[in-house]
Amino acid sequence: MDVQLDPAGDDLPLMANTSHILVKHYVLDLDVDFESQVIEGTIVLFLEDGDRFKKQNRSVEEDCQSESNKGCKLGMPEPCHVPVTNAMTFSSEMEYNDCAICSKGEKDTSDKDGNHDNQEHAAGISSSKRCCDTGNHGSEEFLLVLDCCDLSVLKVEEVDVAAVPGMEKFTRSPELTVVSEELRNQIVRELVTLPANRWREQLDYYARCSQAAGCGELLFDTDTWSLQIRKTGAQTATDFPHAIRIWYKTKPEGRSVTWTSDQSGRPCVYTVGSPVNNRALFPCQEPPVAMSTWQATVRAAASFVVLMSGENSAKPTQLWEGCSSWYYYVTMPMPASTFTIAVGCWTEVKMEPCSSGDSATETPFSPPEADFRRVGVCSHMEYPCRFQNASATTQQVIPHRVFAPVCLTGACQETLLQLIPPCLSAAHSVLGTHPFSRLDVLIVPANFPSLGMASPHIMFLSQSILTGGSHLCGTRLCHEIAHAWFGLALGARDWTEEWLSEGFASHLEDVFWAAAQQLAPHEAREQQELRACLRWRRLQDEMQSSPAEMQVLRPNKDKTGHTSDSGASVIKHGLNPEKIFMQVHYLKGYFLLRFLAERLGDETYFSFLRKFVHAFHGQLILSQDFLQMLLENIPEEKRLELSVENIYQDWLESSGIPKPLQRERRAGAECGLARQVRAEVTKWIRVNRRPRKRKRREREAVFEKLLPDQLVLLLEHLLEQKTLSHRTLQSLQRTYHLQDQDAEVRHRWCELIVKHKFTKAYESVERFLQEDQERPQRDSFIHLLLAWGTGPGHQRRDYVAAKAVSPQPRSSLGASLSQRLVPARHAQKADSHKRGLPPWIWSGAALGFRVLLHR
């Protein structure tokens, strides 16, 4: 495929020719080897050619358009059928049996899949002459193009699905007398389109087919970003084999997974949310349009626990001494980029035994069969949908488990375990049905480059959220829970519209957290206004320090969602390391949704949001889908001259701060919590101005107790002061116990320490660099390096210098700072000595940059 990319550019290519052929289901069979740091095995792809899925997509697209006008009540495709078995949760006996079956090659499998008419920006991409569509373009052979990098592909072969006993039911002939390519493809076509109420049977056949013998090797080639497969004589996607097996292994340096050690010093590997997504873990179709299901068998040493995106709470099956097998499956079609795996010596954290009350983690909700009845219709492709499940719609807290390194189990028991049920319940009270049937939460290693990451059925959280009370833990938990709806159940059709995921999650985290705390309405409003104040300050900083072209939420404008004829595309700035530090999609998206909620009123807005979730779950969306349905579902008197066009112009397609937001912030009064902070700032400025020897009659200042977000705002205000004495800083530390606060507060405290060369507290900075090398550090290391009196030009120069530092193995993060010194620029280090800063501040910060940039 001829992708015209600038070798020095930062765009991420999506090479898969999804307009011609789609992967409907993946079957992975993998071995994890920690000694060689390689994951090796096979992946079987079940494919559907273009003619069939294009017809399905047109039907879904027409229905989605009718949803905007009719609230998803008319013009729907076949409604989802829910299996009689319990699709919400599974008994431990069933989970164990799933694993046992999988180790023998006869998995109790899951789901029917679906896809949707989703596209990506096609700038700079042209179709390959060799890659024809479903029609016959002459003598050229059809190429299946998969997204792939950092993989060693060993062999590709066609799978003889016709040799599997019982497959004759998927043909028009009672007996398989003459086996041909057409017959094998017919079997796969029938298999991938089984109705949702046959999901177990379907996945069982997927598993059996994946174990079938090969019936001929296929030709393949690889380049930097893709794997290309062809079969001699197959000129169209219809002729191409619809079930293929790829033998491959990952590389230790592959960018999709991180090999490292956990906080207890035990080896582990996990997906890190890399810019290249999962293409360095398995060959796949990366564009969001390629919605697929999957099932996976993973073998590892018996001491390891395998966690994965899966609907079942898997249990290990011992294969032989020292080796266990784990099996997971997913029945809801999702983009391959959402697949997540983590293998390590994790410990399941459980509540301490208590005499009263049952924990949701101990007593999973298991309704009787009779509760499974249709409660409405859905407009996505058919799969066993929880929105069709009467019991699921009323389930406030889904079953959940927590895993962590053994050294962090106590901290998880104290904070995290207590917060999950109220946060899940709060989310349900706002948005309704949980899209996923269960949740695993994993505390990931210290080198994780974020505070959290959500995937289907599993969530990664940083160790940084476990200290300093419940506030940071609760807000981050709510943010990731919100992604179950926005980002996973409803995904962006065009990845450049990241605000559809992060903007919604940022806005909803405040709403969920207020509900979880059971705050009175005025208290919730005050808390949300304070957080808006903090985000406003952050947005102003972001606009001043980031390139204008990266401040736009809808950069492709009218071409948003477009692809090349083959389906290949590029993601603008997808590989730009600077993007990792940016929060523009979070912040501008948050303020847009806050603006709309205030214009419409919370009751009207959240009532619409529930309707929107019900209309579009299981599908991919663009900005116009949300905005058009919003404006069509609110009364004329509440629109207040709002239109899709002016929202595009003011909020989504312009750089800088939106004009409506500027007017709102100028006119708005400061909230009570922020005013209280200003009063405390005034006291501290007075304290700082006092002479060292005070008059005896002068009264000591009395400081108010502040909430965590108030402390953050207080420290940000104090960072604006040119000088603070060491005496003042020492008093600050003592008054608020800053070394014991959460990571957001300690982040600002470290900036003050560095800016004012407060040597007595350098240990706090050292601890921060060792234990909190993640967000809230999307920009923290910039601040730590530059907070002390440098101008914008110096900041940009040093930022670029820090980006240039070469990456080192992530496993070195656990070493002492003396072992982690890096070759920062001599001028920087010399300058740091002149300013009285120890070299480890520079080296530790540069290492933090490398962790973020080498995701």
Residues with a catalytic annotation lie at 480
Calpha distance 506→591 (Å, rounded): 9
CA angle 363, 364, 367 (to 5 degrees): 115
The SS3 assignment for 838 reads coil
**Tokens matching residue 434:** 């949980």
Task: Kindly state the helix (H) or strand (E) to which residue 778 belongs, with its residue range.
Answer: none
| C-beta of residue 850 within 8 angstroms of C-beta of residue 809 | no
Residues found in the chain = 855
**Tokens matching residue 547:** 């390139």
Q: How far is CA 753 from CA 201, 455, 709, 760, 762, in A?
A: 62, 37, 19, 9, 7
DSSP state of 651: I
> 53-77: string of b/e by CB count within 10 Å (b at 16+)?
bbebbebbeebbebbbeeebeeebb
Among 146, 143, 180, 174, which Cα is nearest to 161's?
180
Determine the residue type at 242: H
What is the dihedral angle through the alpha carbons of 520, 521, 522, 526, rounded to the nearest 10 degrees?
Answer: 100
561: left (phi over 0), alpha (psi -120 to 50) or beta: left
Calpha distance 313→329 (Å, rounded): 10
Calpha distance 501→483 (Å, rounded): 7
Could you tell me where the beta strands, DSSP code E, fall in 742-849? Answer: none
279: left (phi over 0), alpha (psi -120 to 50) or beta: alpha
**Tokens matching residue 764:** 């706090």
**Tokens matching residue 450:** 């974020």
Cα 126 to the center of its chain, rounded Å: 30
Determine the residue type at 277: N
Calpha distance 295→317 (Å, rounded): 16
Calpha distance 186→192 (Å, rounded): 10
The SS3 assignment for 346 reads coil
**Tokens matching residue 663:** 């007017």
Calpha distance 593→127 (Å, rounded): 38
Burial bucket for residue 522 (CB in 10 Å: 0-12, 13-18, 19+): exposed
Among 216, 91, 223, which Cα is nearest to 147's?
223
Cα 460 to the center of its chain, rounded Å: 9
Residue whose structure tokens are 């930097």: 224
Calpha distance 336→278 (Å, rounded): 7
Calpha distance 689→685 (Å, rounded): 6
**The 3-state secondary structure of 454-513, one letter per residue:** EECCEEEECHHHHCCCCHHHHHHHHHHHHCCCECCCEEECCCCCCHHHHHHHHHHHHHHH
| C-beta of residue 766 within 8 angstroms of C-beta of residue 842 | no
